[in-house]
């Protein structure tokens, strides 16, 4: 009976390296959201995915960041050539329906986050 | 500028006292969500409000959405140490049709309960 599982919980990278963050949604959930939490900026929406599709990536930086949610396996947020400004907590959330669905119950289930530190 | 303003930013309350946290937007809130985050952990859903004037309660926590759907308040009665954490309001401010299907969040209110 696992909730949203994120790994790794903590990740340290040097500038220029790649970071891969994984998110396994709750069983039966096909909607995945990635958020970034910076110390002074709160939680910011990055991208919304359904299986094999990116629905909305309006919150994703244009370069170096990408996300996928394959048919099999977890959703992955990939950050290439990391910089110090990428240091943050990255949260994944899943839901059974999309938020604008008429049967939306209102609940996003969040993982415990992956904390990226770039040296 | 922040689209969702939370106040206060931090709050220290003596155990047993009541408290209120506010979440304000200049835009219409099509769905207002309250979450709680314990330090260094994930977010826990508290409740969702959609209709103007709506009010929901869970245990000692009550949330309201004003008639104009631009402000929500979270009220905790007889606070306990377990209430400590960061309270975040999130909202759909994109409106219907198009726009991000993700929530916009406030910066959070840090609540500390003093014994």
**B28 within 8 A of B95, measured Cβ to Cβ:** yes
Cα separation, B45 vs B36, in Å, equals 7
Preceding amide of B8 cis, omega within 30 = yes
Between CA A38 and CA A45, with CA A40 as vertex, the angle to 5 degrees is: 45
Query: Strand pairing partners for B109?
Result: B87
Q: What is the pLDDT of residues A19-76, one digit of tens each?
A: 999 999 998 888 898 999 887 677 888 998 988 899 888 889 989 999 999 989 999 9
For residue A110, the chain B residues in CB contact (below 8 A) are 35, 42-45
| Confidence tier at A83 by pLDDT (50, 70, 90) | very high
CB contact under 8 A, A110 and B31: no
Q: What is the pLDDT of residues B48-63, one digit of tens each?
A: 888 889 999 988 999 9
Looking at mean pLDDT, say which of A95-99, B5-9, B19-23, B65-69 comes out highest.
Answer: B19-23
Residue among B35, B78, B73, B77 at smallest CA distance from B54? B73
Cβ-Cβ pairs closer than 8 A, A with B, add up to 72
| Confidence tier at A3 by pLDDT (50, 70, 90) | confident
pLDDT at A52: 87
Read off the tokens for B88. 């975040």
**B68 within 8 A of B52, measured Cβ to Cβ:** yes
Q: What is the pLDDT of residues B64-103, one digit of tens each?
A: 999 888 999 999 999 999 999 999 998 877 654 223 456 7
**B101 within 8 A of A99, measured Cβ to Cβ:** yes
- List, as ranges, residues 43-102 from B with C-beta within 8 Å of A: 43-45, 47-48, 50, 88, 90, 92, 96, 100-102
Chain A interface with B: residues with Cβ < 8 Å: 4, 33, 35, 40-48, 55-56, 58-59, 91, 93, 98-100, 104-113
Q: Is the pLDDT of residue A108 over 80?
A: no
Residue among B36, B35, B27, B75 at smallest CA distance from B55? B75
Cα separation, A51 vs A45, in Å, equals 18
Task: Kindly report which listed range (A99-103, B68-72, B111-115) carries the lowest average pLDDT score.
Answer: A99-103
Cα separation, B113 vs B16, in Å, equals 9
């Amino acid at each position: 009976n696992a909730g949203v599982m994120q790994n790794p919980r903590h990740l340290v990278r040097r500038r220029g390296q790649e970071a891969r963050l994984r998110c396994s949604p709750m069983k039966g959930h096909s909607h995945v959201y990635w958020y970034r939490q910076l110390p002074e900026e709160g939680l910011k929406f990055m991208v919304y995915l359904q299986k094999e599709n990116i629905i909305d990536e309006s919150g994703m930086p244009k370069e170096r960041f990408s996300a996928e949610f394959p048919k099999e396996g977890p959703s992955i947020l990939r950050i290439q050539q990391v910089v110090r400004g990428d240091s943050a907590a990255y949260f994944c959330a899943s839901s059974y329906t999309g938020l604008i669905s008429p049967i939306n119950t209102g609940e996003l289930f969040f993982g415990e986050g992956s904390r990226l530190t770039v040296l | 500028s922040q689209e969702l303003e939370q106040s206060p930013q931090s709050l220290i309350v003596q155990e047993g006292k009541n408290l209120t946290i506010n979440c304000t937007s200049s835009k219409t809130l099509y769905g207002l969500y309250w979450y709680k985050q314990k330090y260094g952990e994930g977010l826990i859903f508290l409740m969702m409000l959609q209709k103007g004037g709506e009010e929901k309660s869970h245990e000692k926590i009550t949330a309201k959405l004003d008639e104009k759907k631009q402000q929500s308040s979270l009220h905790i009665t007889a606070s306990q140490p377990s209430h400590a954490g960061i309270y975040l309001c999130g909202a759909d401010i994109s409106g219907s049709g198009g726009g991000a299907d993700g929530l916009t969040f406030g910066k959070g209110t840090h609540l500390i309960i003093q014994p």
